[in-house]
Amino acid sequence: MEEGKLCFPEVYNSSCRRLNLPHFEVVLIYIVLSSISVLTAFLNLMVIISISHFRQLHTSTNLLLLSLATSDFSVGLLLFFQTVLIDGCWFLGDLMCTVYQYLAYVITSASIGTMVLISFDRYVAICYPLHYSSKITQGRVKICILLCWICSWIFQSLILMDNLKQPGRYNSCVGECAFVINYIAGYADLAFSFTAPISIIVILYLRVFVVAMSQSRAMRSHIAAVNPQHSVTAIKSQVKAAKTLGLVVLVFLLCMCPYYCVALSGNDNTLSASSATFVICLFYFNSCLNPIIYAFFYPWFRKSIKLICTLQIFHPDSCDTKL
């Protein structure tokens, strides 16, 4: 075996082999992954700064978007480490491999949990609009977000316990970053991190879109006599938010489903390298799409980006700026 094909030539007998990829393909993949990583981190950082800085954006729904942006921002940082594995070699050691994989599982689990919370938020806003402000308070939303992240940490710690106890125990050669979970833990992860949350999200949003149009018409005629302008504006705002966040959820499902469907079918070992790379990149790319959706549908996001990039947020009382 040629030494140039080994990850660690100094340990000839136990080193992993590099993937036999053309140099042009390696460079192209590196550029694409690095660009997505930087763009994902930057755009989600804009969302985090916007919602955190401007008081007008301190709403219950935006707190959920802040949690989602935090997980997406973390994905952007983790995606940079994926570039290390382009040629099939991991040079950062077994401990860093375990930390990388563990964080990826936790962040993904927290993202899915946040999507469930967003769906429930829109369900209450559309189906029970008169009770929304009393049922969905910022204090309750903060508690739900905190519990979502804590449960993700605890659940993934239990699922990945063997890997955490002995990093690198499943590596077959030096330079590999392998993560293995048993069948019971794998099916538990699929059930609680994919099947159950996705079922809840789909059911809630089906209910939301069935009720949205009929209830908005009824409320316009019923409440318009009391406060016409406020009621109609509020209803339009809630329906628009439901549609926008529904698009976020739809894109989320389209990006996540291929990855989990492969895992659920058990055919991940038969995938070609290019197919596996596509599924993983699609899985990560979802984190870059969310802030792009906000930019198209939320005027406050476009205005806040302008204020941030022009450094106007450092002006006195900029947090009270009307967006």
DSSP annotation of 247 reads H
Nearest Cα to Cα of residue 32 among 87, 79, 90, 73:
79
Q: Rank 45-49, 235-239, 240-244, 250-254 by mean pLDDT and report only the highest.
A: 45-49
Enter the CATH code of domain 3-320. Answer: 1.20.1070.10
Write down the domain spans for the chain. Answer: 3-320
User: For residue range 137-152, what is the model confidence (pLDDT) as tens digits?
Assistant: 999 999 999 999 999 9
pTM (2 d.p.): 0.82
User: For residue range 55-75, what is the model confidence (pLDDT) as tens digits?
Assistant: 888 888 899 999 999 998 998
The CA distances from residue 163 to 78, 152, 219, 320, in Å, are 19, 17, 54, 48
Average pLDDT, the chain: 79
